[in-house]
Amino acid sequence: MARKNSETGSARRGRPPAYDAETALKRATETFWRAGYSGTSLDKVAAATGMSPPSLYAVFGNKHALYLEALARYWEMSLAATREALAGDHPLDQALMLAYEAALSIYFSGKGHARGCFVVGTAVTEVAEDAAIRKSVATGLRAIDADFEARFRRAQDKGELKPDADPATLAILASATMHTIAIRARAGASRADLSAIARKAVKVICG
């Protein structure tokens, strides 16, 4: 999508792009994040990015492809944040809290009212009638489950968890906690309340 020529040395032929696709995608994501996919018109995206509709189409294809790319980017960013939180050698409960706090930082980013999770807030609605979005959501959900489960398995190996605990079950509960926080953040809950919810959930999950 981004045409690079820095490696060839020879400069590109035509008129140079006035916009950066990367920052345009970020702005588009912000717009979708608020009003959802169906609730966001291409004119809104054009206004948010400063680009004209033809430029948007030249770079991203169409509205659907643009949203799919925003969704893929969000999953990358979101999964990376979770993995980084779980990767270190903190105690289990601290690692989980790092993951939730990282998520909350995303959910409460941006100006104004909290937007919650991009996936829960915009993709889940479309999933019922859009196979491509459904596939992205299903894959992403499984990935988070797997990351949590791997962390619980590691904790069990290190003796941080009772031997009879089931890492897969705890992973579902950890994901469920993430999902409830995502919903509540968009519905208006305060960050402090959601932090407290996460702390209490972690206590139960860690036994």
Partner DNA sequence: TGATTTTTATAACGACCCATACAAATATAT
Partner DNA sequence: ATATATTTGTATGGGTCGTTATAAAAATCA
Q: CA 26 → CA 72, 91, 100, 115, 189, distances in Å? A: 12, 34, 23, 15, 25
In the list 4, 11, 88, 129, the residue contacting DNA (rule: CB under 7 A) is 11
Q: Where are the alpha helices (DSSP H) in the chain?
A: 21-35, 42-49, 53-60, 63-87, 92-107, 118, 124-126, 131-157, 167-186, 191-205
| 169: partner contacted, choices a copy of itself, DNA, none (Cβ within 5-8 A by kind) | a copy of itself
Using CB under 8 A as the binding rule, the residues of this chain from 153 to 172 that contact a copy of itself are: 166, 168-170, 172
Q: Binding to DNA by residue 113, rule CB under 7 A?
A: no
**Closest distance of CB 151 from DNA, Å:** 40
From 45-53, 112-120, 123-131, 182-190, span contacting DNA (CB under 7 A): 45-53
Using CB under 8 A as the binding rule, the residues of this chain from 131 to 150 that contact a copy of itself are: 134, 137-138, 141
Structure tokens, 177: 């906690």
Q: Binding to a copy of itself by residue 36, rule CB under 8 A?
A: yes
Q: Binding to a copy of itself by residue 120, rule CB under 8 A?
A: yes
98's CB contacts (< 8 A; 6+ apart) are: 85, 86, 88, 90
Q: In the stretch 51-70, what mask flags binding to DNA with x, by CB under 7 A?
A: xxxxx-xxx--xxx------
- Residues in the interface with DNA (CB under 7 A) total 28
Backbone angles phi, psi at 194, to 5 degrees: -70, -35
Q: Binding to a copy of itself by residue 195, rule CB under 8 A?
A: no
Our CB check for DNA shows the closer of 56 and 114 to be 56
Structure tokens, 189: 């809950």
From 8-16, 84-92, 158-166, 191-199, span contacting DNA (CB under 7 A): 8-16
Structure tokens, 67: 């949203």
From 13-21, 124-132, 158-166, 180-188, span contacting DNA (CB under 7 A): 13-21
132's CB contacts (< 8 A; 6+ apart) are: 64, 68
| Most distant CA pair in the chain, distance | 65
